[in-house]
Amino acid sequence: MKEPMVRTGTAAAPQTAEKVSIYGVVAEFESPEALLEGVRAARALGYDKMDAYTPFPVHGIDEAMGIRRSRLGWIVLGGGIIGAVAAVLLQWWTGAVASPLVVGGKPLFAFEFGLPIIFELAVLLAAFAAVLGMLALNGLPRFYHPVFKYSRFDRAADDRFLLALEANGAGFDAEQAAEILKSAGGRHVEVVTE
Amino acid sequence: MADLAITRELDAPLVVGEPSYSDVTESVSRIVENKMPRAWYIAFGVTATLTGVLLAMLAYLVTTGIGVWGNNQPVGWAFEITDFVFWIGIGHAGTLISAILLLLRQRWRTSINRFAEAMTLFAVACAAIFPAVHVGRPWRAYWLFPVPNEYLGIWQNFRSPLMWDVFAVSTYATVSALFWYTGLIPDLATLRNRAKTKARRIIFGILSLGWRGSARHWRHYEMAYLLLAGLSTPLVLSVHTIVSFDFAVSLIPGWHSTIFPPYFVAGAIFSGFAMVVTLMVIARQVFHLEHLVTMKHLENMNKVMLGTGLIVGFAYLTEFFIAWYSGNPYERFTFINRALGPYWWAFWIMVSCNVLVPQLFWFKRIRTSIPAMFVISILVNVGMWFERFVIIVVSLSRDFLPSSWGHFRPTYVDILTLTGSFGLFLTLFLLFVRFLPMISMSEVKSTLPRPAAARGGER
């Protein structure tokens, strides 16, 4: 396990910030409600770059952090359309162009009998678009992230709610950020380096 | 999913004993982190042996030919197609629980969805074996898919419902696997964070794709999950619909019927829920999960069984009515033959297990009794297997011309292949409960009543 990063409150924190590049200041909250308080407090004081790390999706955090709705739906729609078009081309080209063969007096291609496979391929490609699109939008897989260095990160997938005020935000100041997190009820406040 | 939070406050708690978030993590994770109980090893020994029986039977079949089965002319589809439809049907409950109940905002699904989705995957895997070996030359089973090959010289016939079936079942298997894995990612991250050994940390680290529970990630994740549920819902309805087209699009009396799609889908959900109850009753007892999978969950599943069982019973009645009302003598004969012909016993097993026995679930005492629901759920699956047998074998054995009638008698290979498929299904299941979290921790945590769950203090 990594050593805990420089604790705030010690005089070292701001100086370290000059030397090593800082990811941000991270604190732990005990409940989703407490986390939301922390988010609102930080936003009210002008911190706009932040992220929360939680064991399950916390309702209301998108609004509190000012995150926009996911655009994933459009990617999935695209996947579905590609699947449907591919199914039409597949059935039309194989049946009516590549090997035209009359079976049971039925037409070489028709949407009536094409529909089941059009539907299935649309769903198949839309599902792949949903999963791969989600991973792409999230930048996953990514096996290293600074927040993993937070000494109590392991509990973010268990029962704790972390809030990170990120250093790349406007007017970031490690000491002030730590103060905000503390006064909002955050505990185990740490500066985490990149 | 924003409005879910409103109903959260109104619902009764879905788990008992007010567990905290870390209680949930602990009771689910410790199962895969500690040694399995003795019962697991005994069960695994039995199911692995049965899987061996399945492999031996398949090897015999592939090296010898379809003649080792009891299939004949006119009964060209017998046990293998019955088993195929049976296993595909079992899978449907998993998708129903994970997708349709999510869209219907049934929050009680969270304790059982992972379990049921795993069941879907393993049931579909079992199902896929049967049509693949039934083609006669299974090493050419890839001819089912539109891949170019040097032998065939022509393309597949997309006018045939059998081709639709290939696409429906393979799409279903793939989408179910994607849905299941997506649901697993946050829990795999939990296991990674808890890992005590380097090997576990690396394996779960890779499997969890570096998931860190970021709020920005959850937003896309929840959208992906919702969209997958939205895609899986029509998909699962389409799968058994298309399976039923294999029969309904033909002209055999007893098959050529427009009632088949809804009737098959209801039957699939019916048998799938029965399988979930059978397995869940054992798992929650063995792994001490009674506080997460409560009597309310079991009772709700029994209610679904009662409801879908009534739909199935109604479909049986409708079939008989239409057979009489249509005035078609072949159709009439088929249904009289089902109830009173040489396979009368199969028909009456089907009716007793699927229509009569589930009526016991009207009584709360029985609905909430573990031994009663265990027995009934097994009987329902016996009944549902016989339903497919009745539809497939009985209809084929006596169709139009009495001169071309026949009788099907299963061989030991038929029976041992079916038995062995249960071995494979249960083996996969035992491996699943051994290595992966069988309850979705992140989803259960999101349904816990708030103030109590956050306690847990310093560690």
Distance (Å) from the C-alpha of residue A166 to the closest C-alpha of chain B?
13
B216 and A127 in contact by Cβ < 8 A?
no
On whether residue B144 sits in a domain, the answer given is no
**pLDDT at B454 (0 to 100):** 60
pLDDT above 50 for A10: no
Domain range holding B333?
21-139+156-455
ipTM of the complex: 0.87
On whether residue B149 sits in a domain, the answer given is no
Q: Taking all residues of chain B, what is their mean pLDDT, rounded to a whole number? A: 87
**pLDDT at B169 (0 to 100):** 92
Question: How many independent structural domains does chain B possess?
Answer: 1
The mean pLDDT of A110-126, rounded to a whole number, is 93
Q: What CATH number should be reported for the domain holding residue B294? A: 1.20.1630.10
On whether residue B109 sits in a domain, the answer given is yes
Question: Tokens representing B200?
Answer: 């576990």
Chain A environment of B206 (Cβ under 8 Å): 141, 143
Nearest to residue A190, comparing CAs of A32, A45, A35, A22? A22
Cβ–Cβ < 8 Å for B275, B123: yes
The count of other CB atoms within 10 Å of the CB of residue B160 is 17
**pLDDT at B380 (0 to 100):** 94
Paired sense of beta strands A187-193 and A22-29, if any: antiparallel
Question: Tokens representing A163?
Answer: 């809030």
pLDDT band at A12 (very low <50, low <70, confident <90, very high): very low
Chain B environment of A141 (Cβ under 8 Å): 206, 209-210
Rounded to the nearest angstrom, the gap between the alpha carbon of residue B224 and the centroid of all alpha carbons in its chain is 23
Q: pLDDT tens digit string along B112-141?
A: 888 888 999 999 999 999 999 998 888 888
pLDDT above 80 for B3: no
**Residues 6 or more apart from A2 whose CB is under 8 A from it?**
A149, A151
Best residue of A56, A58, A149, A150 to probe chain B, by most B CBs closer than 10 Å: A56
Residues pairing with A162 in the sheet: A28, A53
In chain A, residues 118-157 whose CB comes closer than 8 Å to chain B: 119-121, 123-124, 126-128, 130-131, 133-135, 137-138, 140-145, 147-148, 153-157
Question: Tokens representing B63?
Answer: 């090296």
Q: pLDDT tens digit string along B15-36?
A: 666 778 888 888 888 888 888 8
pLDDT over 90 percentage in chain B: 47
Q: pLDDT tens digit string along B77-97?
A: 999 999 999 999 998 888 888
Q: Is B277 exposed, middle or buried (0-12, 13-18, 19+ CB in 10 A)?
A: buried
Higher pLDDT, B6 or B453: B453
A133 and B182 in contact by Cβ < 8 A?
no
Q: CA dist B350 to B80, B254, B343, B355, Å?
A: 18, 16, 11, 8
In chain A, residues 39-98 whose CB comes closer than 8 Å to chain B: 51-62, 65, 67, 69-70, 72-73, 76, 90-91, 94-95, 98
Chain A environment of B219 (Cβ under 8 Å): 57, 62, 67, 69-70
**pLDDT at B415 (0 to 100):** 94
Nearest to residue A146, comparing CAs of A165, A133, A174? A165
Alpha carbon distance B137, B134 (integer Å): 8
Q: Residue B324 half-sphere exposure, CB side, CA atoms within 13 Å?
A: 6
Of B4, B21, B146, the CB nearest to A55: B21
Torsion, Cα A170 A174 A179 A180, to 10 degrees, reads 30
| Domains, chain A, ordered by start | 22-66+144-193 (3.30.70), 72-138 (no CATH)
**pLDDT at B1 (0 to 100):** 43
Q: Is B368 exposed, middle or buried (0-12, 13-18, 19+ CB in 10 A)?
A: middle
pLDDT above 90 for A187: no
Complete edge-to-edge strand list for the sheet that includes strand A187-193: A50-53, A161-166, A22-29, A187-193
Alpha carbon distance A30, A40 (integer Å): 16
A65 and B445 in contact by Cβ < 8 A?
no
Q: pLDDT tens digit string along A141-184?
A: 888 888 888 888 888 888 888 888 888 877 777 788 788 888 88
Cβ–Cβ < 8 Å for B312, B267: yes
Q: CA dist A23 to A50, A146, A162, A166, Å?
A: 10, 6, 14, 6
**pLDDT at A6 (0 to 100):** 45
**pLDDT at B6 (0 to 100):** 42
pLDDT above 90 for B175: yes
Would you call B398 helix, strand, or coil by DSSP?
coil
Of A33, A95, A158, the CB nearest to B22: A158
A131 and B224 in contact by Cβ < 8 A?
yes
What are the phi and psi torsion angles at A52 (to 5°)? -115, 150
**Residues 6 or more apart from B308 whose CB is under 8 A from it?**
B266, B267, B269, B270, B273
Alpha carbon distance A166, A7 (integer Å): 16
B227 and A76 in contact by Cβ < 8 A?
yes
Q: CA dist B293 to A47, B99, B109, B131, B140, Å?
A: 42, 19, 10, 35, 44
Lowest mean pLDDT among A119-128, B197-206, B312-321: B197-206
Angle (CA) B9-B14-B16 rounded to 5° is 115
Q: pLDDT tens digit string along B47-85?
A: 999 999 999 999 999 999 899 999 888 998 999 999 999
**Residues 6 or more apart from B363 whose CB is under 8 A from it?**
none
Question: Tokens representing A142?
Answer: 């990514």
On whether residue B13 sits in a domain, the answer given is no
Cβ–Cβ < 8 Å for B178, A146: no
On whether residue B72 sits in a domain, the answer given is yes
Residue environment code for A54-64, b if the CB has 16+ CB neighbours within 10 A, otherwise e: bbbbbbebbeb
pLDDT band at B453 (very low <50, low <70, confident <90, very high): low
Alpha carbon distance B225, B219 (integer Å): 10
Question: Tokens representing A49?
Answer: 């770059």
Total H helices, total E strands in chain A:
6, 4
pLDDT above 90 for B149: no
Of B174, B190, B238, the CB nearest to A119: B238
Would you call A28 helix, strand, or coil by DSSP?
strand
Of B25, B155, B205, the CB nearest to A95: B155
B178 and A95 in contact by Cβ < 8 A?
no
Q: pLDDT tens digit string along A74-108?
A: 999 999 999 999 999 999 998 888 888 888 888 99
A31 and B454 in contact by Cβ < 8 A?
yes
Q: Which helix (H) or strand (E) holds A160?
A: none
Chain A environment of B171 (Cβ under 8 Å): 120-121, 123-124
Alpha carbon distance B11, B9 (integer Å): 6
Total H helices, total E strands in chain B:
19, 0
**pLDDT at B458 (0 to 100):** 44
Angle between the B295-325 and B260-286 helix axes, to the nearest 10 degrees?
160
B216 and A106 in contact by Cβ < 8 A?
no
Alpha carbon distance B81, B408 (integer Å): 14
Would you call A193 helix, strand, or coil by DSSP?
strand
Q: pLDDT tens digit string along B263-304?
A: 988 999 899 999 989 988 988 888 887 877 888 888 988 999
On whether residue B47 sits in a domain, the answer given is yes
pLDDT band at A7 (very low <50, low <70, confident <90, very high): very low
Cβ–Cβ < 8 Å for B275, B381: yes
Alpha carbon distance B81, B61 (integer Å): 15
The mean pLDDT of A56-74, rounded to a whole number, is 85
Alpha carbon distance B189, A82 (integer Å): 33
A159 and B454 in contact by Cβ < 8 A?
yes
Chain B environment of A119 (Cβ under 8 Å): 234, 238
Q: What is the DSSP letter of A58?
A: P
On whether residue B148 sits in a domain, the answer given is no
Alpha carbon distance B342, B350 (integer Å): 15
Question: Tokens representing B34?
Answer: 């500690």
Cβ–Cβ < 8 Å for B118, B90: no
